[in-house]
Structure 1
């Protein structure tokens, strides 16, 4: 009998499967439905989990009637686990029929449900956590900056959790999904793992020398792939209908580059009341698609920036999504070559080149020196040959227009996405765009009240653009990258000193001010903000004679 061929490495197989279903340039579409995900996972328990979610949505509605809209957080109610001595049937039967008073609703919730977040348990100090790890930020010389960086580093302990064993034992009693390893949550109302947040958490953990915790995060995401067929938006049953920007391969690559751990790469086993009913269904589809982008919500996805019901996300070819997919194709080509699978490497190398050409052909705007989202027609006719139209590019200015620069920041052996001369032209466009503000890069120029619009700045966007400028080959671009990072570090520092917390987003017009707007209260914690600050301090240091205050 001939010898069996070696088993494909699971992680590589997962990454390959992601890509085979992705066309060259794609608009945002929802991931498989919850029903489809349940079918993949096997049926019965998922049906019970769906029943719990239906109950919690009823509780959510009754709570809104009882407590009123002021300071109401709808997420709180769908995160509630059933109390140990309660059943879903009893909770449903006891749900108040008339409009409940505040006291009645509080008593009902206390009787039938445990507190939100109680199905996550605080982990003991992660075994790879050290108070001041060897080699931590050696170029941060100023005492105040270093003391603060160590406080940010220590926040990993506060954000590290494990999913309680009861979740795996009785998943029908929780919307939280079981995960095998330690998790790092963003913080505040975000009590679960999120996909694209995890990339910047991993980057920060690598600065903190917490390599095993970083690996746990990736292996948890791989577990979700094994169970649902894709990485969920977040580890909750109500997120099984969508994903987020595809950054899993980037996490694996960064861990490998930091540790050289081939065993990790090769591991087999861990690897709107005014709308009609039809219009509502279309609108909710667009809402879910927008959540997949990570930019929920922004005028970027609206035909009319003043009207949420004009969301048309699934008809947009986004600049950043295609950037992330191209990066994933390059990563898979790299991994495949690393483990000797040359045919697979060549397939994905060619795919990345084709996507590169498509991005430059469809999304690049030579007049603006930016990459622009492309708007597809909404008449549903996408089957015929389509003629590219220049007026279908969205000429509004968003930070995402500059995200392809990030592809310059690649592992060795690959050419830059754009050459130095073009990178400099893009840099000049950024400088003239109006996005550069005293405390960082604004998300857009439109102040709509949405959180992914002006005046908010977000850690991931600062990091993507700074890394791209930094690796462009231009000394001037490197200076701008350091200037943006300095602005961002200072606003985070001043806000931390004023509030004692790291924030989810910041108002980039005013140094030291946290951000606002959107569908919920501003949150603190905060995973990706911590990760980006540590990454910037590692990259640029902080000299003794450089002020860190605004």
Structure 2
């Protein structure tokens, strides 16, 4: 199953990120604003040996008639956004549209682009759509929810095997199968994917993917040679008093992201001017926020209105640590099934300790809500976000806490089209007025876990109605929605709103079928 060897990219430049491969030429292109979206050039496919292109560029660039735009289009194949190749029948329901859309969002191994920054995968997979032309890690779990409703167990298995392949090859699941994503991951949903598959195929699935779950856990828990002193960190691990270990988001590079190059350079310059912080530290915070999937949100800012105050790596996120608890519990059960009783007990203890830590470090008694924790400032962050519902999803909250969270959801997040992500409007896409499918599902399921069915049903009614309204108006499923004013489109962020859209499709189908 895992014997597939990914072909090296064009002309043997295997697994080299484009900014490293093309050097100053890459910088010149990204700073030239040839493309509206920085990701476009990062995804371009060289038509000739990159070494030849670089040499030719440096030879010609100072000639009077040289045109960089023309040069790039002559030496690279420009990727197109993924759009549905059919116009949906106006008589189709939203569900019928989604079922017809899966094939257009599915990539087969033999049809994958070769060359450039794409890392080919051994099995078929579903992409989100639009500018997102590759498989994304945490997106895929929510996409799988819908695939399950459509009986596409084969595609779920293929996608999980792709992630297992990536773990076997790189030691972790990158953000997506691009070389420029190899230095970071995304919220660790692999154990949830394995659980989902096991619901269909039995507990043997936990044993089957035990080696990959263990290796992913080792990636997130890599403490290097750190001393373990209180309130110190190494990569994604943070040491706290009394031997408590929690996780943060991180990226192993501290340079501008290739897929958002000019935006990162501009933001770092602003941060250096206003906050006397080094550019490489800003890049690290930006990249860590990208690993979180919440790119970007005031959640990561010291000042909610100032992007340049970003401080992601100082923050312990509540949702990440709930996901890590799930991974520990799943490892424990897999080891028990494998009759490895010492390992079972080890991970049961780790899960218990993390459960206690979630209570101690993320529950804010003054707000009666789960908050992120800044371990540098040794205090809760100021940002109240929908991430605080993750303890309900993973059943880590006490009953009284769940009641407080439900009240928070109703008073602070619920709007006419679903749930806000945060309560502040900053121009960032993971802030008001936007709502996102994965967080609607996490909250919906969390409410149901604690028998708040009335609130959960109100939420699902509002979200499904908004999806259906926008589909009827546009014929499209969107990446995100404006849940405050359902007559307006969502906005904000580094790129235009995308259509497709994998996780919206998946959550819609699962939520719709649960209401029947």
- TM-score scaled by length of structure 1: 0.74
> How far off is 1:97 after superposition?
2.1
Q: 1:222 aligns with which of 145, 164, 180?
A: 164
* Cα pair 2:18 2:26 within 8 Å, conserved: no
Distance 1:254 1:324 in 2: 14
Cα deviation 1:27-81 (Å, max 9, x = unaligned): xxxxxxxxxxxxxx9xx966772467542873463365264xxx71000001011
Query: Is the CA contact (8 Å cut-off) linking 1:64 and 1:72 kept in structure 2?
Result: no
What's the counterpart of residue 393 of structure 1?
A: 380
Relative to structure 1, the CA distance from residue 262 to residue 75 in structure 2 (aligned partners, 3 Å threshold; closer, same or farther) is: same
3-state secondary structure, aligned to 1:357: helix
Deviation at 1:431, TM superposition (A): 1.7
Deviation at 1:404, TM superposition (A): 1.2
Alpha-carbon separation, structure 2, partners of 1:99 and 1:357: 66
Q: Is the 8 A contact 2:194 2:205 kept in 1?
A: no
Instruction: State the 1:513 CA deviation.
Output: 4.1
Q: Distance in 1 between matches of 2:277 and 2:61?
A: 29
Partner residue, 1:459: 437
Which residue of the other structure, out of 111, 118, 134, is the alignment partner of 2:74?
A: 111
**8 Å CA contact 1:399, 1:461 repeated in 2:** yes
For residue 355 of structure 1, what is the aligned residue in structure 2?
A: 354
SS in 2 for 1:94: helix
Once the two structures are superposed, what CA deviation does each residue of 1:299-328 show, in whole Å capped at 9, x if it has no partner? Answer: 111112222221111111111111111111
Q: Which residue of 1 aligns with 2:134?
A: 192
Structure 2 CA distance for aligned equivalents of residues 149 and 446 of structure 1: 32
Query: Once the 2 structures are TM-superposed, how far is the Cα of residue 215 of structure 1 from its aligned partner?
Result: 0.9
Distance 2:113 2:434 in 1: 36
Measure, in 1, the Cα distance between the counterparts of 2:75 and 2:203: 47
For these two proteins, the number of residue pairs brought into alignment is: 445
Residues 424 and 61 (structure 1), Cα distance of their counterparts in 2 relative to 1, 3 Å cut = same
Which stretch shows the higher mean deviation, 237-246 or 253-262? 253-262
Q: 2:53 aligns with which of 66, 73, 91?
A: 91
Structure 1 residues 502 and 56, CA gap change in structure 2 (3 angstroms): farther
1:150 correspondence with 2:129: no
Alignment partner, residue 36 of structure 2: 72
Structure 2: distance between partners of 1:63 and 1:53: 13
SS in 1 for 2:481: strand
Q: Which runs of 5+ in 2 are unaligned?
A: 3-7, 85-89, 214-267
Who is 1:205 aligned against?
147
* Structure 1 residue 529 displacement after superposition: 0.6
Measure, in 2, the Cα distance between the counterparts of 1:451 and 1:165: 32
Measure, in 2, the Cα distance between the counterparts of 1:397 and 1:319: 11
Is 1:491 paired with 2:466?
yes
Corresponding residue for residue 376 of structure 2: 377
Give distance in 2, aligned partners of 1:59 and 1:538.
Answer: 47
2:394 aligns with 407
Structure 2 residue aligned with 1:426? 405
Q: CA RMSD in A?
A: 3.2
Q: Deviations for 1:238-297, whole angstroms, at most 9, x for unmatched residues? A: 011111111101000111112327368426999933528971111111111111111111
* TM superposition shift of 1:514: 3.3
**1:304–1:310: 8 Å Cα contact kept in structure 2?**
yes
Could you say what secondary structure the match of 1:177 adopts? coil
Structure 2 CA distance for partners of 1:93 and 1:48, relative to 1, 3 Å: farther
Determine if contact 1:460/1:532 at 8 Å carries over to the other structure: yes
Relative contact order, higher structure (CA 8 A, sep 6+): 1
Give the Cα–Cα distance (whole angstroms) in 1 for the partners of residues 38 and 27 of structure 2. Answer: 6
CA apart distance, 1:535: 0.9
Distance in 2 of aligned mates of 1:213 and 1:306: 42
Structure 1 residues 56 and 483: alpha-carbon distance in aligned structure 2, compared to 1, 3 A threshold: farther
Instruction: Confirm or deny: 8 A CA contact 2:18 2:117 kept in the other structure.
Output: no
Q: Secondary structure at the match of 2:330?
A: helix
Say which SS state the counterpart of residue 295 (structure 1) adopts.
Answer: coil
Q: For residue 87 of structure 2, what is the aligned residue in structure 1?
A: none
Aligned mates of 2:64, 2:284 — CA distance in 1: 32
Whether the aligned pair in 1 keeps the contact of 2:406 and 2:447 (CA below 8 Å) is yes
Distance in 1 (alpha carbons) for counterparts of 2:146 and 2:474: 21
Any unmatched runs of 5+ in structure 1? 1-8, 11-40, 123-142, 379-388, 409-416, 542-550
Describe how 1:9-24 pairs up with structure 2 within 5 A: none
Deviation of 1:335 after TM superposition, in Å, equals: 2.3
- 1:49 alignment partner, SS class: coil
- SS of corresponding position for 1:354: helix
1:480–1:56 CA distance, 2 compared to 1 (3 A): farther
- Cα displacement (A) at 1:446: 1.1
Question: Residue 446 of structure 1 corresponds to which residue in structure 2?
Answer: 424
* Deviation at residue 497 of structure 1 after TM alignment: 1.4
Aligned to 2:16: 49
SS state at 2:108 partner: strand
1:458 Cα deviation (Å)?
0.6
Number of the residue aligned with 1:19: none
Go from structure 1 to structure 2 and tell me whether the alpha carbon gap of 1:161 and 1:300 turns closer, same or farther (over 3 Å shift): same
Check whether the contact 1:60–1:78 (CA below 8 A) recurs between aligned residues.
Answer: no
Q: CA deviation at 1:396?
A: 2.9
Structure 2 equivalent of residue 339 of structure 1? 338
| Aligned with 1:161 (options 107, 122, 129) | 107
CA contact (8 A) 1:494 1:512 kept: no
CA contact (8 A) 2:210 2:334 kept: no
Q: Deviations over 1:111-157 (max 9, x none)?
A: 21123269x9x9xxxxxxxxxxxxxxxxxxxx98x832121122111
Q: What is the aligned partner in structure 2 of residue 241 from structure 1?
A: 183
C-alpha deviations, 1:386-443, integer Å up to 9, x for none? xxx5xx11243211122211013xxxxxxxx2344432232123222x2111101101
